[in-house]
Amino acid sequence: MSGNDGWTAGEKTGDAGAAGRHGKQPIREGIGLEKVAESRTAKLTQCPFCSVQCKMTLEEVAAMSAGRTAFRAEGAPNAASEGRLCVKGKNAHQHATSRERLLYPMMKIGGEFVRITWRQAIDTIRAKWAATRANFGCDSIGVYGGGSLTNESAYLLGKFARVALRTRYIDYNGRFCMSAAASAAVKTFGIDRGLTNRLSEIPQAECIILAGTNIADCQPTLMPYFTKAKENGAYIVVIDPRSTGTAALADLHLKIRPGTDAALANGLLKVVLDEGLADEAFIRNRTKGFAELREHAATFDLERISALTGVGEKDIRQAALAYGKARTGMIFTARGVEQHSDGHMAVRGFLNLVLATGKIGREGCGYGAVTGQGNGQGGREHGQKADQLPGYRLIENERDREYVAGVWGIDPADLPGKGVSAYEMMKLVHERVIRAMFIMGSNPIVSNPNAGLVEEGLAGLDFLVVADMFLSETAKLADLVLPVTAYMENAGTMTNLEGRVLLREAVRPAPGEARHDWEILGELAEALGCGEKFAFRDAEHIFEELRLASRGGVADYYGITYERLRREEGVYWPCPSPEHAGTKRLFEDAFAHEDGRAAFAVVSGRPPEEEPDEEYPLLLTNGRMLSHYLTGVQTRRSPALAARDVENVLEIHPRAARLNRIEDGTLVRVVSRRGTVIVRCRVTGDIREDTVFVPMHWGGVQNVNLVTNPSLDPVCRMPDFKTSAVRVEPYRRS
Ligand code: SF4
């Protein structure tokens, strides 16, 4: 696995080289970079990967073979990452200039992809969708988006589903990224914005709890905020079943048993309350529901919590005292806490702690959901989610429907109702309720849990269209693929984990016949007879409509303009008017519920739903590596990144390895009730003895989601990716 050289690493530049790692691609050599302007001046853009959205400059440094160009990426001064760039950002241009980019539309004929024209592609899609709708109704077509799309694309995709296709079935891969933290924040605070305050406040925190987040690998350029806090004397607690690069920074590492975060949060709360560390004035003046919670907390038994979580009572006490006694403090959660069938309540457990100690709404105090995807924040605000309309409006709220229908120029009665979550949509595909699907910027057969069922379902669709940069694992199943532009070519806004809206400019023309997402949606809408509602000149034109659609909503972007974003270092929403400065810190005076109060929740800490047994004695958890992003479609095509981690691995403790007759460096089979994955084994004392870890960046037989648990959280419909009972055995070729 990757080292933890994080943001200082990655000096390699240029060569997009190394074609063909993933098999023969029916696309032409080279990428049409002859279109690129001659200028050697560095151009300002933004990393396409994680939620920090680091600004960077790209400079052409050399002409390569076949008309291709080498680039040098450097971090650019900016307020989010302070000019740092990690190894992924340093090499992001490599996938964008890869020979494997899709350059023209292709249709599968006789099992092979064949080049077709855009006209043929649009006409084919129109005919197939018309037949599907005539036979099975509007809801027989599903739409699946992604958290890496720009705000403009995400907004337009939501509008396209509701206005052009008139289907209720739209959701996106961000469901797997944000839904637990988002729903918990909405219930607790009345609003969901990843961080309640700026990243630059982190060094002011006297105690920081990092729960289920491996920032060193996932958002490396943020690490210096935490090292700075530590230099200032902060006490850092890391909660993680593995000894990660982030845990190396900790004063106290709580090596928790996966799936027991809610119980641990309850244990921390109990100590805070028992030791008289609650902020009674804050609780009285700014919150509701505390009496019920206090009564519930009286039943917590620290010994039992310790046994369940695998964290010693002494350590629970130490962490709680450090946080409770600190004058300022911040808590961060990420997928380690959230991707469980009780993820919503686990996050609420940590938010109880924030509220009980009054550590929010002032400098150096707050909560942060560390989003994973590049636009994990903005992607969830403007209508790709099954129950949402732009501006975080709700599709089942009459006033919200009326407002957005007014902006879109349609009758509110014509807006479909709420759909279902991403994995539930895949189940409807499998059950053939959904007969055709349009996927934009996502690779669901690798990113969904129980991936075998998802692949079977998508393969059985009457008609599957995938818009992507590459022939991803999912695109390979498609009947028709449409080539889209990459970050270097596609301008638009992204909202980073702080809720800071940033403008990313394009730095080169589209290669081949690749088109922007919004151009494709415009053409498809035209073919469906409503082109006038999708007739946009450019991304800024779409953003102007998005501003209006979000106006007065929870995520209000009305005061943000491209002109302003070019002038300022991003603008924080809510920003209700052009004169408004943007909201750098939330909840200084009031929370966003109507009564202005934040809501405590009674959280029950229960064991994971899928417990190990004799047949499946280990708990599998999963996550990311430094050198890869999401399902690896982009980073596996970047030679510099692919070379760092060439294949998927299993981390297993030495004693567990011995028990299961597993040797370091050999191939192993990881088997769950749902399937099998084959990966190389790494024996390491960095992981708990009862837990194994497999990253999420590979498809095929190395796809960890072939074995993961699809149980859904009852509130937010987040799958239980992080706790699957498995057995591990040596791999023997049959
Ligand atoms: Fe920055 Fe994230 Fe890109 Fe790394 S991957 S350069 S931390 S945006």
Q: Which two tokens stand for residue 547?
A: 């501003």
Confidence of residue 65 (pLDDT cuts 50, 70, 90): low
Ligand 1 center to 57 CA (angstroms): 13
- The reported pTM is 0.92
Task: Determine if ligand 1 sits within 6 Å of the CB of residue 384.
Answer: no
pLDDT of amino acid 18: 28
Q: Is the CB of 81 under 6 A from ligand 1?
A: yes
- 436 pairs with which residues across the strands? 141, 463
pLDDT band at 174 (very low <50, low <70, confident <90, very high): confident
Is residue 710 within 8 A of residue 722, CB to CB? The reply is: no
CA of 333 to the centre of ligand 1 (A): 18
Average pLDDT over residues 49-58: 94
pLDDT for res 67: 60
Centroid of ligand 1 to alpha carbon of 189 (angstroms): 28
Answer whether 273 contacts ligand 1 (Cβ < 6 A): no
Ligand 1 centroid to Cα of residue 233, in Å, is 27
- Kindly give the distance from the C-alpha atom of residue 101 to the centroid of ligand 1, in angstroms, as a whole number: 22
Choose one of 85, 91, 377 to mutate for the ligand 1 pocket test, by most ligand atoms within 8 angstroms of C-beta: 85
Q: 218 CB less than 6 Å from ligand 1?
A: no
Return the higher-pLDDT residue of 179 and 734: 179
Ligand 1 pocket residue status of 216, Cβ below 6 Å: no
The Å distance, Cα 88 to ligand 1 centre, comes to: 6
Counting residues of the chain whose pLDDT is more than 90, the rounded percentage is 83
The answer to whether the CB of 332 falls within 8 A of the CB of 370 is yes
| Cα dihedral across residues 137, 407, 515, 22: positive or negative | negative
> Does ligand 1 come within 6 angstroms of the Cβ of 50?
yes
- Please give the number of the atom of ligand 1 that sits closest to the Cα of 53: 8
Q: What's the pLDDT tens digit per position in 25-38? A: 333 333 333 333 34
Mean pLDDT of 311-325: 98
In angstroms, the Cα distances linking 101 to 25, 161, 633 are: 9, 26, 11
Check if 86 has its Cβ closer than 6 Å to any atom of ligand 1: yes
Q: Which residues of 540-574 are buried (b: 16+ CB within 10 A; e: fewer)?
A: bebbebbbbbbbebbbbbbbbbbebbeebebbbbb
> pLDDT class for 24, splitting at 50, 70, 90?
very low
- Determine if ligand 1 sits within 6 Å of the CB of residue 52: yes
669 contacts 481 by C-beta, under 8 angstroms? no
- Point out which residues pair with 145 in neighbouring strands: 172
Ligand 1 lined by 179 (C-beta under 6 Å): no
pLDDT beyond 70 at 7: no
- Note whether 26 and 106 are within 8 A (CB): yes
Q: Is the pLDDT of residue 641 over 70?
A: yes
Question: Given pLDDT bands bounded at 50, 70 and 90, which one contains residue 212?
Answer: very high
- Does residue 68 register a pLDDT over 80? no
Mean pLDDT score of the chain, rounded to an integer?
Answer: 91
State in Å: Cα 635 to ligand 1 middle.
12
pLDDT at 2 over 60: no
Ligand 1: centre distance to CA 85 (Å): 6
The DSSP symbol for 590 reads -
pLDDT at 734: 65
89 CB under 6 A from ligand 1? yes
Indicate whether residue 55 lines ligand 1 (CB < 6 A). Answer: no
Which ligand 1 atom sits nearest the alpha carbon of residue 222? 7
pLDDT band at 630, cuts 50/70/90? confident
Q: Is 624 in the pocket of ligand 1 (CB under 6 A)?
A: no
444 contacts: CB under 8 Å, gap ≥ 6: 144, 173, 422, 426, 454, 458, 474
Q: Is the CB of 47 under 6 A from ligand 1?
A: yes
User: Do 423 and 448 touch, CB atoms closer than 8 A?
Assistant: yes
Q: Using CA positions, which residue lies closest to atom 8 of ligand 1?
A: 53
Strands 667-671 and 676-683, sheet pairing? antiparallel
Cβ of 219 below 6 Å from ligand 1: yes
Kindly report the length of the chain. 734
Helix ranges (DSSP H) in 55-174: 87-90, 92-96, 118-136, 151-159
Taking the CA of residue 219 as reference, the ligand 1 atom at the shortest distance is 7
Q: Is the CB of 49 under 6 A from ligand 1?
A: yes
Q: How confident is the model at residue 113 (pLDDT cuts 50, 70, 90)?
A: very high
**Is the shortest distance between the CB of 628 and ligand 1 below 6 Å?**
no
Our answer on whether the CB atom of 56 is closer than 6 Å to any ligand 1 atom is: no
Ligand 1 mean position, distance from CA 52 (Å): 6
Question: Distance (Å, rounded) from C-alpha 180 to C-alpha 183?
Answer: 5
Nearest CA to ligand 1 atom 1: 54
- Tens-place pLDDT, residues 258-291: 999 999 999 999 999 999 999 999 999 999 999 9
The residue whose CA has the least distance to atom 2 of ligand 1 is 50
Pocket test of ligand 1: the residue of 4, 54, 488, 641 to mutate, having most ligand atoms within 8 Å of its CB, is 54
Q: What number does the ligand 1 atom closest to the CA of 629 have? A: 5
Q: Is 627 in the pocket of ligand 1 (CB under 6 A)?
A: no
Ligand 1 atom nearest 46 alpha carbon:
8
Backbone angles phi, psi at 607, to 5 degrees: -65, 160
Ligand 1: centre distance to CA 47 (Å)? 6
Please tell me the distance from the alpha carbon of residue 659 to that of residue 666, in angstroms, as a whole number. 15
Nearest-10 Cα torsion for 482, 384, 635, 424: -100
Q: Cα separation of 388 and 83, whole Å?
A: 35
Distance 221 CA to ligand 1 centre (A): 6
Query: Which of 46, 52, 226 to mutate to test ligand 1, by most ligand atoms within 8 A of the CB atom?
Result: 52
pLDDT of residue 3: 35
Q: Give buried/exposed letters for 426-465 (b at 16+ CB in 10 A, else e).
A: bbbbbeeebbbbbbbbbbbbbbbbbbbbbbebbeebbbbb
221 lines ligand 1 (CB under 6 A): yes
In ligand 1, which atom is closest to the CA atom of 90?
6
User: How far, in Å, is the centroid of ligand 1 from the Cα of 51?
Assistant: 7
In 263-357, where do the E strands start and end?
Answer: 287-288, 329-333
Å from CA of 176 to ligand 1 middle: 20
Residue 24 CB partners (closer than 8 Å, separation 6+):
none
Residue 581, CB-side half-sphere exposure with 13 Å CA sphere: 4
**CA distances (Å), 309 to each of 246, 256, 315, 605, in order?**
20, 6, 11, 10
CA of 622 to the centre of ligand 1 (A): 20
Calpha distance 492→506 (Å, rounded): 8
What atom in ligand 1 is closest to the CA of residue 56? 6
Are 130 and 462 a contacting pair, CB within 8 Å?
Answer: no
3-state secondary structure of 118: helix
Nearest CA to 372 among 11, 699, 696, 5? 696
CA 651 to ligand 1 centroid distance, Å: 25
Q: Please identify, by atom number, the ligand 1 atom nearest to the C-alpha of residue 92.
A: 3
Q: Is the CB of 220 under 6 A from ligand 1?
A: yes
Distance CA 287, CA 189 (A): 9
What would the pLDDT profile of 501-558 be if each residue is shown by its tens digit?
Answer: 999 999 999 999 999 999 999 999 999 999 999 999 999 999 999 999 999 999 999 9
How remote is the CA of residue 223 from the centroid of ligand 1, in Å?
11
